[in-house]
Each structure stands twice: as C-alpha cells, then as structure tokens.
Structure 1
C-alpha cells in the first residue's frame, strides 16, 4: 500500500512538471495561426471603417502593427510526503501541488503619417505594381475596375460626381472584352526590368525606390498570346480592344504607361491612389435618403454599361448578422459585408492585397511576433 501511494504522489508531481515544460511548443502551433488570423481580421475592419468614413468625408487613419509579444506564465509546484508508520500512526502518502497560468500579450502600433502616408495612400498606384496581379489569377476586369481611373481616355466611374460620374460605357465594354481574352488565354501581362545602369545617378550609387509609383522597369500586355485568330470570337475581341485603345494592329505586345496620352504602341493608364480606391468604393454604398437630404453625404454613385452592380456591396442597418464577413460601427449604424456574397468578399480581398503592396517601401518592416518557447 505504501509503495502504491508513493508512486501516485511521484506521478502527480511529474505531470505538473511536464505541463510546465511543454507549454512553449504547444502555444507556438496555435498562436502562429491565431495571430495571423487576428491581424487579417483587424485589417479588414480598418479598411471597411476607412471606406465608410470616406463616404461621409471623414479622413481615415491607419495603424501599423509593429510587434506582438505573447507573454505566457505557467507556474507549477508540487511535493510529496510519505509516512511509513510508527506506533499508532498508519501508513500514508500525500501529494500537494498548485498550478497557475496567465497570458499577457503586448501589441505595439505605429501610426502611418508623413511621407509614409503620402507614399502608401495618396500617390497613384504604379501600373507596374497593379497589372502583374492579373497574371496571378485575379480577373483583369475586376482589377482595372478597382485601380484604373482611365485607360486611353476611356473613363471609369468617379466619386467626384458630375455628368460623367458613372463612367464611360466603352470603358466597361473594354473590361468585359479583356476578361474574355484572359479566360481564352489570349492575354498575358509581363514585367520587364530596366538596365541596371539606368538607376545610377552618375556617382556609382543607385537610386532607391520611393513609394509605390517609382518602380523600375515597365509592364507589357500581349494580345493574341497563343492562338490569335484561331476563332472568329477571339479575332473580333482582339480587333475591338485595339480599336478602343487606338493600338496598332501590326503589333501584339504593348507597354502600359502612366498618363493620359501615348502613341500606337503604348497604352496610357491613369491609376488611382489607395485613398482614391477607398473613396470610390465608399461612394457606391447605398445610404438612407435622409442622410443625403441633411447634407451628411452625397448621393450614391451608380455605374453604367454591362455591369451596374457595386464593386463591393456594403449593407447598413442597426445590427449586423453574427456571421458577417466584416462589420464596423459608424455613427450609430452598422455596416457590413455578407459572408455569402462571394463577389464582394473577393473584391475586398483584392483591395486588401493592393493596400499591402502599396504600404511596402525600402524602410518597411514586417510585424514581429514573439512567442516564448520555454
């Protein structure tokens, strides 16, 4: 009996010690995913809050997570008492122990201001930054609808209002044709770097990239990439794109450049800034008529052409559904995106990726997550 009691006491103390020793690796497995999801969800709320705020002319603010420190404390104490018995005292064994656990994470946020704010959010996105995303599988019509203000003079919708606020019907026709060519494999996007000596100042030192619109090199689009003219539909679409963009039919590859005017072998594109993108998305949110009537905001901007659906459908009400994809509270009203609205969720993800690319500079540092492993 004494030996059995002693064994139980020793095993109990061993379990306490083992629990203390193994907390680090176990928390690392869970925290790596949990913190990544938490950062993503926080960024979604920040973006939606900026979109809704701009709908009512509120300037957005952005915070960057600089570091996350997950501090865990696990204390365990244990002891064993054995009495072999003497005289009237019976044999007995006693085990004692205590366990305490605490979690105190520390988050460090850095506000984005000054040059970093201007570079990431105010300057137009470079075509060399935007267009390669089409090669990663993003639909080119969605990408251009979000990022382009005009292509070869064809105007996208704008939040500025006025008679041309809904955009040009030819612009949306161009997007649909480009999407058909992309699905047919007849449209390729290629990035090309410039010669290394073009980045020199003359003193042997290279100029670094500043912001998102000072990228080296260029981006090119190839029309009729695989089997040009193999079908009448493809041939008609290729001819229509060249007609809308005023391109030479003798070429297949054209450079995409920032600006309003170009020759017949280049495609001029005026891109939006991140703030321009968020403002345009906010202008498409449907709001109650009384908020427009009292001057709190402007009327909702509609689109024309074949696609009149808002890029991202943001719903409003007193309370969002519990399973909303993302939701924020603004001025006593809730705004959210439905989890069942795949098109809106996908477009929102594209915007989130564009912002992540725009925020990258030479001095940008990724968030540091520190998780104790012992």
Structure 2
C-alpha cells in the first residue's frame, strides 16, 4: 500500500513532465516533415494533402501487482513479499484533413495586407516577405506564373529583385518602415523612408522602378487596380502560391526531367532555366538515395530522400517563415470531417 501511495503522489507530475515535451516535439517534427513533403509534391505536380492534429487525449493508469521472491538452497531459505507498479499510457490522436471550403480559405485566398504587416513586425526581412508572397509591385513582375505549377517559359523577375534588394538595404540601415492603412476604398500598406543623404539615391531608384514620376518618401501599396498618385499596385500571393514559388528550390534528379516526371522551364533561346536564380537565397531542398545524417528536416518520397541541410540558414529561415504563415492562416477548425481517430494500445 505504501508503494501505491508513493506512486500516486509522483505519477501525475512525472507523466506531465515527460508526456508534454515528447508530444510537443513529435508534433513539431511531423508538421515540418508534412510541410516539406508537400513542397516536394508540388515540385512534381502531385496534389498536396495536409492532415491536422485536432486533438490528443491520453489516459494514464497505474497497475499494482504483488509478488513473492526468495531462494532455496543448502545453506538456508528466504522468502520475501514484493510489489510491482506498472505505468500504462493509452493515447488517442485525432486527425482532420484540410479540404473543401476550408482548404480554399486557408490556401487559395490571397494573403491579407494586414498579415504582411504582422510578418514584418514579427521580424521577418522585408525582402523575404515580398519575394515569397507578392507577385507584382506596380510594373514589376515577380514570376507570377511560378505561383502555380512550374511554367514552361522562364519568368520575369530581375527588376522586382532589384527593388526588393533596395528595400532590404534600406531596412537593414533602419531607413524604412511599413505600416497598415485601412480605408473605405480598400486597405493598403505604406512604405515610409527616412530623409537622410545616404537614402536619397536608393529611394529615387526604387521610385523609378515603381514607375513613379518623382522620388517620394511615403509610398502607398494598394490592391486597388487603379492606384492614385503616389500609390503602387501590390498583388499578393496565396499561401499555396507562396509554397509553389519556393517549391522550385526542390532539386530533382536529371532522370526525372528526362522521363517527364518534372516539367522543364526554358528561356527565350531554348536553354533550360535554372530556378536557383530565383530561389537560391530562399530555399534549397537537396535529394539523395541515402538518408541524410545532418538534416534539419527530411522526408522519403518517390524512392528518394529530400532534405534541408541543418547549416543552410537561408532555407531554414524560409521554411520557418512558410510554417508561420501556415499557422497564421489556419484559424479554428469547425466541423471538419471526416475525422481519423487512432487509439494506440500500449503493450
């Protein structure tokens, strides 16, 4: 009885300390693997699928047993009673596939300008936000057809990248701020630049790229198809569009190109376009036949291992960035069906 009383006093706290951490780690790791798997699927034009863990419940129990032990020999005999305490956990995990209108709302709707501001104030670099989730700024194209399955013709992106590099340099120097501007005509963002001699040239060049008649230290970025004076049209991507965009950083074997498993993109001269020119500083997913040893996250798909290297900080940052937007867009699951519930029996 004393053993049972002692076990009951320590059982709950110990199970919480062990169980919460292990479940947290398992969910985080499997979420990362699922996201990487879907990026690889998009590269191969396979349909993505997300299963969300909607609930985890676990029943914990103690079983007390009695035992008698001893020894019998020529020297003497001894018999001693004993007790055995067994810890049993029976978790139940519930999954819900993302589909129907909920999939459309979360993955196909353009990202909100207010969400772009949240990401900016969360500390994400301004150029990373715009490169992944903005496909047009005024006359500047950021490979808009890369927001879907890999196009057959090389995208237009050079001038857009020049603009985002200028924005990043101003951001690094603390000379630019991004704000949200709600209005009846349509929500907008404002880029505000600090008036300093070392900013003048960059601001003037940026305004010229945006097609503005003269340099301005406050620029309105709007979704309105007819932006007014001093305003620039901003066309955001959806979450799925951003995932398609970075999925072009998934490297695939040459034989998959040869047999047509992966589409080939060519430039105006007919040469194969290298997507690393767009995604080289955003995302690189390597592949190989052997399971990687030093991977940040890895998955096995189509007979190959795909992974992000643990020392590839740019790719890890973009991957975490996409994961945060995925959480930001997820919202609350209401009436999701069908549900898949797995009771796990402990032996």
For Structure 1 versus Structure 2, the TM-score category normalised by the shorter chain is 0.7 to 0.9
Q: Is the 8 A contact 2:33 2:298 kept in 1?
A: yes
Please state if 1:115 is matched with 2:80.
no
Across the aligned residues of Structure 1 and Structure 2, the Cα RMSD in angstroms comes to: 2.9
Q: Tell me, in whole angstroms, the C-alpha distance in 1 between the residues paired with 2:164 and 2:34.
A: 29
What is the alpha-carbon distance in structure 2 between the residues aligned to residue 125 and residue 275 of structure 1? Answer: 10
Provide closer, same or farther for how the CA distance between residues 279 and 222 of structure 1 changes in structure 2, counting only shifts above 3 A: closer
Indicate whether 1:223 and 2:210 are aligned.
Answer: no
Q: Which digits, 9 at most, give the CA deviation of each residue in 1:235-294, with x for residues without a partner?
A: 111111211113465753333222655233322111222222222222232222221111
Contact 1:75–1:99, Cα closer than 8 Å, also in 2? yes
1:70 counterpart = 2:41? no
How far did residue 148 of structure 1 move?
A: 1.2
Q: How big is the shift at 1:109?
A: 0.5
Give 1:22 deviation, angstroms.
Answer: 1.7
For residue 281 of structure 1, the aligned residue among 238, 246, 263 is 246
Q: For residue 179 of structure 2, what is the aligned residue in structure 1?
A: 190
TM-score normalised by length of structure 2: 0.81
- Give the deviation of 1:304 after TM superposition: 8.5
TM-score scaled to structure 1, two decimals?
A: 0.76
1:318 Cα deviation from its structure 2 partner: 0.8
Q: Distance in 2 between matches of 1:100 and 1:295?
A: 56
Runs of 4+ aligned structure 1 residues displaced above 4 Å come to: 77-80, 92-95, 248-251, 361-365
Distance 1:30 1:101, change over 3 A: closer
Label 1:261 to 1:153 Cα distance change in 2 as closer, same or farther (>3 A). farther
Q: Quick one: structure 1 residues 319 and 260, their matched pair in 2 at CA, closer, same or farther if it must change by over 3 Å?
A: farther
Q: CA deviation at 1:21?
A: 2.5
Matched with 1:331 is 302
Give the aligned partner of residue 274 of structure 2.
302
Aligned partners of 2:223, 2:26: CA distance in 1, in Å?
36
- Cα displacement (A) at 1:221: 2.5
| 8 Å CA contact 2:186, 2:223 repeated in 1 | no
Q: 1:326 to 1:261 in 2, by over 3 A?
A: farther
Q: What is the match of residue 312 of structure 1?
A: 283
Counterpart-to-counterpart distance in 2, 1:189 and 1:31: 42
What displacement does 1:218 show?
3.1
SS at match of 1:263: coil
Q: How does 1:345-364 map to 2 (within 5 A)?
A: 345-360=316-331, 363=334
- SS for the counterpart of 2:295 is coil
**Counterpart-to-counterpart distance in 2, 1:24 and 1:304:** 52
Partner of 1:239: 204
1:263 matched to 2:228 = yes
Of structures 1 and 2, the larger Rg is shown by 1
Q: Give, in angstroms, the shift of residue 41 of structure 1.
A: 1.2
Q: Provide the rounded CA distance (Å) in 2 between the counterparts of 1:74 and 1:258.
A: 60
> Alignment partner for residue 344 of structure 1, among 315, 319, 329?
315
1:127-173: CA deviation from partner (whole Å, max 9, x where unpaired): 221233122211111111111111112111343435442x3211111
Q: Give the Å deviation of 1:56.
A: 1.2
Secondary structure of residue in 2 paired with 1:144: helix
Structure 1 residue 333: Cα displacement: 0.9
Aligned length, in residue pairs: 316
Deviation sequence 1:16-62 (CA, Å, 0-9, x none): 42122222122223333332222221111111111111111111111
Counterpart in the other structure of 2:151: 161
